[in-house]
A = this chain, B = another copy of it.
Amino acid sequence: MADLDALTAELLAFRDARDWRQFHTLRQLIVSLNLEASELLELTQWQSDAEIDALPADPLSAEALRDECADVLLYLLLIADKTGIDLLAAARSKLRKNAEKYPVDKARGSRAKYTELK
A43 to B79, CA, bound (A): 13
Q: Give A75 Cβ to nearest chain B Cβ, in Å.
A: 9
**Does A71 lie within 8 Å of B83, measured CB to CB?**
no
A: number of interface residues (CB 8 Å): 75
Q: Provide the bound-state CA to CA distance between A65 and B94, in Å.
A: 11
The answer, among B1, B7, B65, B94, for a CB contact under 8 Å with A85, is B65
A contact face: mostly helix, strand, loop, or mixed: helix
Q: Is the CB of B70 within 8 A of A90?
A: yes
- Evaluate contact between A65 and B83: CB separation under 8 angstroms: yes
Residue A118, interface by CB 8 Å: no
- Tell me if A91 and B108 are in contact (CB < 8 A): no
Residues of B within 8 A of A83 (CB): 55-56, 62, 65, 69
**Which residue numbers of A lie inside 8 Å of B, CB to CB?**
1-4, 7, 10-11, 14, 17-20, 22-23, 25-28, 30-35, 37-38, 40-47, 49, 52-53, 55-56, 62, 65-67, 69-74, 76-77, 79-80, 82-85, 87-88, 90-95, 97-99, 102, 104, 107-111
